[in-house]
Amino acid sequence: MSELSNLIFKNKKHKLSSPFGSRAVINTSAGSTSSFHNGADYSTYNEKLKQYAVTDGKIISCGIDTAYGSAKYVWVEYPKLKVKMLHYHLDEICVKKGQTVNSGTVIGLTGKTGMATGIHLHLGIKRLSGSNYIDPEKWSKEEFPALLKNIEKSKEKPETKPKYKTGNYKVKTAAVLHVRTGAGTKYQIKSFSQLTSDAQKKIKTLNNGKPANGYVKGVTFTASQIKEANGYTWGKTPSGWVALDYCEAI
Protein backbone atom coordinates (compact mmCIF):
# COMPACT_ATOMS: atom_id res chain seq x y z
CA MET A 1 0.00 0.00 0.00
CA SER A 2 1.03 3.56 -0.36
CA GLU A 3 2.61 5.51 2.47
CA LEU A 4 -0.45 7.74 2.49
CA SER A 5 -3.03 5.03 3.05
CA ASN A 6 -0.76 3.37 5.61
CA LEU A 7 -0.77 6.61 7.58
CA ILE A 8 -4.51 7.04 7.26
CA PHE A 9 -5.16 3.54 8.60
CA LYS A 10 -2.12 3.52 10.92
CA ASN A 11 -0.89 0.41 9.10
CA LYS A 12 -4.04 -1.57 9.81
CA LYS A 13 -4.92 -4.06 7.08
CA HIS A 14 -6.38 -2.54 3.94
CA LYS A 15 -5.95 -2.77 0.19
CA LEU A 16 -6.42 -0.62 -2.85
CA SER A 17 -9.67 -1.98 -4.23
CA SER A 18 -10.29 0.49 -7.01
CA PRO A 19 -7.67 2.86 -8.38
CA PHE A 20 -8.09 6.39 -9.62
CA GLY A 21 -9.34 6.82 -13.15
CA SER A 22 -10.75 3.37 -13.68
CA ARG A 23 -14.31 2.71 -14.70
CA ALA A 24 -15.55 2.04 -11.23
CA VAL A 25 -19.02 2.76 -10.03
CA ILE A 26 -19.09 6.37 -9.01
CA ASN A 27 -19.91 6.84 -5.37
CA THR A 28 -18.59 10.28 -4.74
CA SER A 29 -20.04 13.70 -4.26
CA ALA A 30 -17.90 15.26 -6.90
CA GLY A 31 -18.39 12.62 -9.56
CA SER A 32 -20.25 14.27 -12.37
CA THR A 33 -19.40 11.72 -15.01
CA SER A 34 -20.38 8.12 -14.76
CA SER A 35 -17.22 6.47 -15.92
CA PHE A 36 -14.32 8.22 -14.28
CA HIS A 37 -13.28 7.31 -10.76
CA ASN A 38 -12.03 10.52 -9.22
CA GLY A 39 -10.40 8.99 -6.15
CA ALA A 40 -8.88 5.79 -4.86
CA ASP A 41 -10.88 3.18 -2.97
CA TYR A 42 -9.36 1.30 -0.06
CA SER A 43 -11.07 -1.77 1.25
CA THR A 44 -10.61 -2.46 4.94
CA TYR A 45 -11.79 -6.06 4.75
CA ASN A 46 -15.15 -5.26 6.27
CA GLU A 47 -13.61 -3.55 9.31
CA LYS A 48 -14.77 -0.08 10.32
CA LEU A 49 -11.17 1.04 10.72
CA LYS A 50 -10.33 4.42 12.16
CA GLN A 51 -9.08 6.92 9.61
CA TYR A 52 -6.45 9.35 10.87
CA ALA A 53 -5.28 12.72 9.66
CA VAL A 54 -1.84 12.34 8.08
CA THR A 55 -0.25 15.51 9.47
CA ASP A 56 -1.23 18.96 10.72
CA GLY A 57 -4.33 20.23 8.98
CA LYS A 58 -7.81 21.63 9.36
CA ILE A 59 -11.31 20.29 8.73
CA ILE A 60 -12.76 22.56 6.06
CA SER A 61 -16.04 20.75 5.66
CA CYS A 62 -17.85 17.64 6.77
CA GLY A 63 -21.36 16.30 6.82
CA ILE A 64 -23.79 14.23 4.83
CA ASP A 65 -23.85 14.33 1.06
CA THR A 66 -27.55 13.93 0.36
CA ALA A 67 -27.03 14.01 -3.38
CA TYR A 68 -25.38 10.61 -3.29
CA GLY A 69 -27.42 8.55 -0.89
CA SER A 70 -26.48 10.27 2.35
CA ALA A 71 -22.78 9.57 2.36
CA LYS A 72 -20.87 10.87 5.35
CA TYR A 73 -17.74 12.74 4.36
CA VAL A 74 -14.92 14.92 5.66
CA TRP A 75 -12.64 17.31 3.81
CA VAL A 76 -9.26 17.96 5.42
CA GLU A 77 -6.98 20.73 4.26
CA TYR A 78 -3.23 20.21 4.66
CA PRO A 79 -1.44 23.49 3.94
CA LYS A 80 2.03 21.97 4.24
CA LEU A 81 1.12 19.18 1.82
CA LYS A 82 -0.55 21.72 -0.47
CA VAL A 83 -3.58 19.47 -0.89
CA LYS A 84 -6.96 18.76 0.60
CA MET A 85 -8.35 15.28 1.07
CA LEU A 86 -11.87 13.92 0.94
CA HIS A 87 -12.73 10.96 3.15
CA TYR A 88 -15.98 9.51 1.81
CA HIS A 89 -18.51 6.81 2.83
CA LEU A 90 -17.63 7.21 6.53
CA ASP A 91 -19.61 5.20 9.03
CA GLU A 92 -19.06 7.93 11.58
CA ILE A 93 -17.60 11.44 11.48
CA CYS A 94 -15.30 12.14 14.44
CA VAL A 95 -14.38 15.78 13.75
CA LYS A 96 -16.05 19.16 13.42
CA LYS A 97 -15.74 21.84 10.79
CA GLY A 98 -12.97 24.27 11.62
CA GLN A 99 -11.18 21.81 13.89
CA THR A 100 -7.42 21.58 13.62
CA VAL A 101 -6.05 18.08 13.33
CA ASN A 102 -2.73 16.29 13.51
CA SER A 103 -1.47 12.80 12.79
CA GLY A 104 -3.11 11.55 15.98
CA THR A 105 -6.58 12.80 15.15
CA VAL A 106 -9.24 10.28 14.18
CA ILE A 107 -11.25 11.80 11.34
CA GLY A 108 -13.86 9.11 11.13
CA LEU A 109 -14.63 5.44 10.89
CA THR A 110 -14.57 3.59 7.62
CA GLY A 111 -18.03 2.72 6.41
CA LYS A 112 -20.35 2.36 3.45
CA THR A 113 -22.71 5.31 3.81
CA GLY A 114 -24.01 6.62 0.53
CA MET A 115 -23.81 4.57 -2.60
CA ALA A 116 -21.28 1.98 -1.61
CA THR A 117 -21.50 -1.75 -1.91
CA GLY A 118 -19.07 -2.50 0.90
CA ILE A 119 -17.05 -0.89 3.66
CA HIS A 120 -14.25 1.15 2.15
CA LEU A 121 -12.63 4.55 2.06
CA HIS A 122 -13.05 6.58 -1.06
CA LEU A 123 -10.17 9.03 -0.89
CA GLY A 124 -10.24 12.09 -3.09
CA ILE A 125 -7.36 14.56 -3.34
CA LYS A 126 -7.26 18.03 -4.82
CA ARG A 127 -4.38 20.45 -4.88
CA LEU A 128 -5.05 23.66 -2.98
CA SER A 129 -4.10 25.42 -6.17
CA GLY A 130 -6.50 23.54 -8.40
CA SER A 131 -9.99 22.15 -8.65
CA ASN A 132 -9.35 18.80 -10.32
CA TYR A 133 -9.02 15.54 -8.48
CA ILE A 134 -5.59 14.00 -8.70
CA ASP A 135 -4.53 10.36 -8.37
CA PRO A 136 -3.98 9.66 -4.64
CA GLU A 137 -1.66 6.71 -5.23
CA LYS A 138 0.48 8.57 -7.74
CA TRP A 139 0.66 11.63 -5.51
CA SER A 140 1.51 9.46 -2.53
CA LYS A 141 4.42 7.86 -4.34
CA GLU A 142 5.78 10.85 -6.21
CA GLU A 143 5.20 13.88 -4.00
CA PHE A 144 4.07 12.91 -0.54
CA PRO A 145 7.31 11.39 0.87
CA ALA A 146 9.40 14.51 0.22
CA LEU A 147 6.71 16.80 1.61
CA LEU A 148 6.38 14.65 4.71
CA LYS A 149 10.14 14.61 5.24
CA ASN A 150 10.21 18.40 5.14
CA ILE A 151 7.47 18.60 7.73
CA GLU A 152 9.28 16.17 10.02
CA LYS A 153 12.54 18.06 9.61
CA SER A 154 10.94 21.35 10.58
CA LYS A 155 9.49 19.70 13.68
CA GLU A 156 12.90 18.42 14.77
CA LYS A 157 14.17 21.93 15.36
CA PRO A 158 12.59 23.06 18.57
CA GLU A 159 13.53 26.55 19.62
CA THR A 160 16.29 26.08 22.15
CA LYS A 161 15.82 28.64 24.81
CA PRO A 162 18.95 29.09 26.87
CA LYS A 163 18.44 27.94 30.40
CA TYR A 164 20.84 30.52 31.74
CA LYS A 165 21.37 34.20 31.12
CA THR A 166 24.30 36.49 31.72
CA GLY A 167 24.40 37.80 35.27
CA ASN A 168 25.54 36.98 38.76
CA TYR A 169 25.90 33.41 39.99
CA LYS A 170 26.93 31.45 43.03
CA VAL A 171 28.52 28.00 42.90
CA LYS A 172 26.22 25.42 44.47
CA THR A 173 28.11 22.17 43.92
CA ALA A 174 30.12 20.65 46.74
CA ALA A 175 32.77 19.55 44.26
CA VAL A 176 35.37 21.96 42.91
CA LEU A 177 33.93 23.57 39.79
CA HIS A 178 36.57 23.59 37.08
CA VAL A 179 37.34 26.81 35.32
CA ARG A 180 38.27 26.22 31.69
CA THR A 181 39.99 28.21 28.98
CA GLY A 182 36.92 27.89 26.73
CA ALA A 183 33.27 26.85 26.69
CA GLY A 184 33.39 23.06 26.61
CA THR A 185 34.98 20.04 28.22
CA LYS A 186 37.70 19.90 25.56
CA TYR A 187 39.23 23.09 26.93
CA GLN A 188 41.97 23.02 29.54
CA ILE A 189 41.23 23.26 33.22
CA LYS A 190 42.89 26.25 34.82
CA SER A 191 44.97 25.82 37.93
CA PHE A 192 44.58 27.95 41.02
CA SER A 193 47.44 30.24 40.00
CA GLN A 194 45.78 30.95 36.65
CA LEU A 195 42.63 32.37 38.23
CA THR A 196 42.17 36.07 38.94
CA SER A 197 43.45 37.28 42.29
CA ASP A 198 39.86 38.12 43.23
CA ALA A 199 38.81 34.52 42.57
CA GLN A 200 41.83 33.18 44.45
CA LYS A 201 40.85 35.28 47.47
CA LYS A 202 37.24 34.05 47.40
CA ILE A 203 38.30 30.41 47.06
CA LYS A 204 40.71 30.58 49.97
CA THR A 205 38.17 32.30 52.18
CA LEU A 206 35.52 29.68 51.46
CA ASN A 207 37.97 26.73 51.53
CA ASN A 208 39.52 27.13 55.00
CA GLY A 209 42.43 29.15 53.63
CA LYS A 210 43.42 26.49 51.10
CA PRO A 211 43.76 26.95 47.35
CA ALA A 212 41.69 24.83 44.91
CA ASN A 213 41.91 24.30 41.17
CA GLY A 214 38.53 25.85 40.51
CA TYR A 215 35.60 27.53 42.21
CA VAL A 216 34.41 26.03 45.48
CA LYS A 217 30.90 26.14 46.86
CA GLY A 218 29.79 29.67 47.59
CA VAL A 219 32.08 31.46 45.13
CA THR A 220 30.22 34.24 43.34
CA PHE A 221 30.98 35.58 39.90
CA THR A 222 29.47 37.42 36.97
CA ALA A 223 28.85 35.52 33.74
CA SER A 224 29.33 37.95 30.89
CA GLN A 225 28.75 35.53 28.03
CA ILE A 226 26.78 32.27 27.59
CA LYS A 227 27.48 29.29 25.34
CA GLU A 228 26.07 25.79 24.99
CA ALA A 229 28.50 22.87 24.62
CA ASN A 230 28.65 19.18 25.58
CA GLY A 231 25.17 19.35 27.06
CA TYR A 232 26.13 22.11 29.49
CA THR A 233 25.57 25.83 29.52
CA TRP A 234 28.86 27.62 29.95
CA GLY A 235 29.29 31.04 31.43
CA LYS A 236 32.30 33.26 30.88
CA THR A 237 33.63 34.46 34.22
CA PRO A 238 36.61 36.78 34.76
CA SER A 239 38.82 33.73 35.45
CA GLY A 240 37.50 31.53 32.64
CA TRP A 241 34.51 29.39 31.58
CA VAL A 242 32.45 27.33 34.01
CA ALA A 243 29.39 25.08 33.66
CA LEU A 244 26.49 27.15 34.95
CA ASP A 245 24.54 23.95 35.56
CA TYR A 246 26.36 23.73 38.90
CA CYS A 247 25.57 27.29 39.92
CA GLU A 248 22.53 29.29 40.87
CA ALA A 249 21.62 32.76 39.74
CA ILE A 250 21.78 35.39 42.46
Candidate segments 98-106, 114-122, 130-138, 158-166, binder of Zn ion by CB under 5 A:
114-122
Stretch that binds Zn ion, among 31-39, 94-102, 149-157, 217-225 (CB under 5 A): 31-39
From CA 243, how far away is CA 228, in angstroms rounded?
9
How far does Cα 111 stand from its chain's mean position?
30
For Zn ion, give the closer residue by CB, 111 or 214.
111
Centroid of chain to Cα 196: 47
Residue with smaller CB distance to Zn ion, 122 or 202? 122
Minimum CB separation of residue 49 from Zn ion in Å reads: 16
Beta bridge partners of 86: 75, 124
Which CB, 68 or 164, lies closer to Zn ion?
A: 68
CA distances for 213 relative to 102, 176, 234, angstroms? 53, 7, 18
E strand segments, the chain: 15-18, 40-43, 50-52, 57-65, 71-78, 83-90, 92-93, 100-101, 106-109, 120-127, 133-134, 167-171, 220-223, 226-229, 232-237, 240-243, 247-249
Contact residue for Zn ion among 122, 180, 190, 236 (CB under 5 A): 122
Nearest to 235 by CA among 193, 177, 192: 177
* Closest distance to Zn ion from the beta carbon of 18 (Å): 6
Give the nearest residue (CB) to Zn ion: 122
Q: How many residues bind Zn ion (CB under 5 A)?
A: 3
Residue closer to Zn ion by CB (options 74, 148) is 74
> What's the rounded Cα separation, in Å, for the pair 192 and 50?
66
Q: In angstroms, rounded to a whole number, what is the distance separating the alpha carbons of residues 7 and 155?
A: 18
Residue 85: strand pairing partners: 76, 125
Closer to Zn ion by CB, 70 or 168: give it.
70
Torsion angles phi and psi, residue 68, rounded to 5: -120, 55
Closest approach of Zn ion to the CB of residue 47, in Å: 18
Q: Which of 8, 14, 20, 41 binds Zn ion (CB under 5 A)?
A: 41
Q: Which of these ranges, 9-17, 115-123, 187-195, 236-244, lies near Zn ion under the rule CB under 5 A?
A: 115-123
Comparison of 39 and 114: residue with beta carbon closer to Zn ion: 39
Nearest approach, Cβ of residue 31 and Zn ion (Å): 8
Nearer to Zn ion, 117 or 197 (CB): 117
CA distance readout (Å), 244 to 109, 206, 212: 52, 19, 18
- What minimum distance in Å lies between the beta carbon of 35 and Zn ion? 13
Shortest separation between residue 61's beta carbon and Zn ion, angstroms: 18
Give residues in contact with Zn ion (CB under 5 A): 39, 41, 122
